[in-house]
């Protein structure tokens, strides 16, 4: 092959070719290299190769590339970055071989454009990171699903949701607030640095998320100040610089919110927002199940007509009170109330009016007792009051207030159908000399005392000791 063919092959090679001294001084380059770097022959030859590298590559060239070349006589696929005359950068792979003779040493170098490969590796890395993020999100959702499945109360559910959100976002504080009372959010789990109760009429992120039924995100203090000026002072005092509030939506109604507070500026990308929304969707379904279970449990323990505890609930409560009485040596009382004149109302006006009477009496009895005392309906026109830490005089006083309230005119009935109550009171004082008693025995004793009141003329109270 003649010299012209060799020269043509050198300059048209599919990669940049150059030769340089062991000090890195360039003494020849081909046209391909000049095209890669966007420069001219006279601007490359007799310069140092390192002059055309980025700052990071210069350090790498001096401390890694050249020492390896001198040690092994060659370097393969070393990644470097060239700087073109216009300031743009080009990622390249460099292969070099050190050829040494008696007269001199020369470095033959091939330079390959690494842009396509770099883009491919970048895409591959991003795909791997995306897969890792998807796997992490899946693990968070799976973990939350396991916790949610075992949740029996709203507090259990809230704690699981707050923990899952903290794991997903690394938030400074996470909290869950539910709409329990009309117009108000109540904290059920986690830590909320501002308030345990939030007025939904207020101008705050939580109220806005409920009103819009959509996520509220403020990625910086500037965003918080712009959107919620009324809440700025409280949030900044709590060192909150960014936040995210995601609603819990069930049947198009917002039942609560998940709140994430951050002590620094934080941008939440779409994947994190979608994860938090997915967690809230899961939690909303579980919240519906928990509330249905609570409703069924409440119905099983409460009288449908009056809403008072039913016989089953009263039995359970009485056993609980009796156990505490024996343990602490405190007296208790069971007050049995039976209405006088109720049968005449039912027979004359019908069950619809009778039901109205029972509801009125239930409300009146609930008003005459203390908060720690229990009023329930045994059935028909019979009611029971369970009192803790009470003596005969105080129990009789409660019974007398109950009789006075019951005797007041009934709404919608006028004075044609007077109503009164016969009351039996059983007081139990635990002591070492007393034989053990059961709740059923106390109720029977109070029932017997009530019949004594009826036999004595009705509208009165009779007290017995167990």
pLDDT in tens, 275-287: 999 999 999 999 9
| pTM score | 0.62
Q: What pLDDT does residue 433 have? A: 66
Please report, for the chain, how many H helices and E strands are present, in that order: 16, 16
Q: Which two tokens stand for residue 384?
A: 């029971």
* C-alpha span between 169 and 283 (Å, rounded): 17
Average pLDDT over residues 55-61: 94
CB–CB of 190/196 below 8 Å? Answer: no
Backbone angles phi, psi at 252, to 5 degrees: 65, 10
Residue 414 is predicted with a pLDDT of 63
> Which range has the worst mean pLDDT, 19-28, 318-327, 414-423?
414-423
**Mean pLDDT of all residues in 30-45:** 95
Q: How far is CA 243 from CA 53, 205, 271, 326, 380, in A?
A: 44, 9, 16, 52, 55
Give the distance between the most distant pair of CA atoms in the chain. Answer: 139
The full set of domains in the chain, from first to last, is: 3-113 (3.30.450.20), 131-298 (3.30.450.40), 311-465 (3.30.70.270)
Helix (H) or strand (E) holding 389: none
pLDDT in tens, 302-347: 999 999 999 999 999 999 999 999 998 899 999 999 999 999 998 8
Selection from 3-12, 13-22, 344-353 with the highest mean pLDDT: 13-22
pLDDT at 80 over 90: yes
| φ, ψ for residue 275, nearest 5 deg | -65, -45
End-to-end CA distance of the chain: 125
């Amino acid at each position: 092959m003649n010299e012209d063919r060799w020269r043509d092959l050198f300059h048209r090679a599919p990669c940049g070719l150059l030769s340089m001294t062991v000090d890195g001084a360039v003494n020849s380059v081909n046209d391909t290299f000049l095209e890669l770097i966007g420069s001219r022959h006279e601007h490359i030859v007799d310069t140092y190769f390192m002059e055309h590298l980025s700052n990071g590559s210069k350090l790498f060239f001096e401390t890694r590339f050249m020492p390896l070349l001198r040690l092994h006589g060659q370097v393969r696929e070393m990644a470097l970055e060239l700087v073109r005359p216009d300031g743009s950068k080009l990622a390249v792979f460099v292969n070099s071989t050190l050829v040494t003779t008696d007269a001199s040493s020369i470095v033959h170098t091939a330079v390959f454009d690494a842009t396509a490969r770099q883009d491919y590796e970048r895409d591959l890395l991003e795909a791997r990171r995306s897969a890792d993020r998807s796997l992490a999100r899946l693990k968070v959702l799976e973990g939350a699903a396991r916790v949610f499945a075992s949740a029996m109360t709203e507090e259990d559910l809230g704690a699981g949701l707050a923990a899952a959100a903290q794991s997903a976002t690394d938030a400074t504080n996470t909290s869950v607030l539910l709409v329990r009372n009309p117009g108000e959010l109540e904290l059920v789990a986690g830590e909320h640095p501002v308030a345990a109760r939030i007025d939904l009429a207020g101008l705050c992120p939580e109220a806005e998320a409920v009103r819009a039924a959509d996520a509220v995100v403020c990625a910086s203090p500037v965003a918080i100040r712009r959107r919620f000026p009324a809440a700025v002072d409280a949030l900044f005092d709590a060192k909150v610089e960014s936040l995210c509030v995601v609603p819990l939506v069930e049947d198009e109604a917002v039942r609560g919110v998940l709140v994430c507070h951050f002590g620094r500026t934080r941008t939440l990308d779409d994947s994190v927002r979608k994860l938090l929304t997915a967690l809230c969707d899961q939690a909303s379904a579980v919240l519906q199940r928990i509330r249905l279970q609570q409703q069924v449990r409440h119905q099983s323990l409460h009288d449908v007509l009056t809403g008072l505890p039913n016989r089953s609930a009263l039995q359970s409560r009485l056993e609980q009170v009796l156990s505490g009485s024996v343990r602490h040596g405190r007296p208790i009382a069971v007050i049995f109330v039976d209405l006088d004149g109720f049968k005449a109302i039912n027979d004359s006006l019908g069950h619809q009016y009778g039901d109205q009477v029972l509801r009125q009496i239930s409300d009146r009895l609930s008003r005459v007792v203390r908060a720690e005392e229990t009023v329930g309906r045994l059935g028909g026109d019979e009611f029971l009051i369970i009192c803790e830490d009470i003596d005969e005089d105080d129990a009789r006083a409660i019974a007398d207030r109950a009789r006075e309230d019951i005797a007041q005119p009934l709404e919608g009935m006028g004075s044609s159908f007077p109503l009164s109550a016969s009351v039996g009171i059983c007081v139990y004082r635990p002591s070492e000399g007393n034989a053990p008693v059961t709740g059923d025995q106390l109720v029977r004793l109070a029932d017997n005392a009530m019949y004594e009141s009826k036999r004595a003329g009705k509208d009165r109270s009779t007290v017995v000791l167990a």
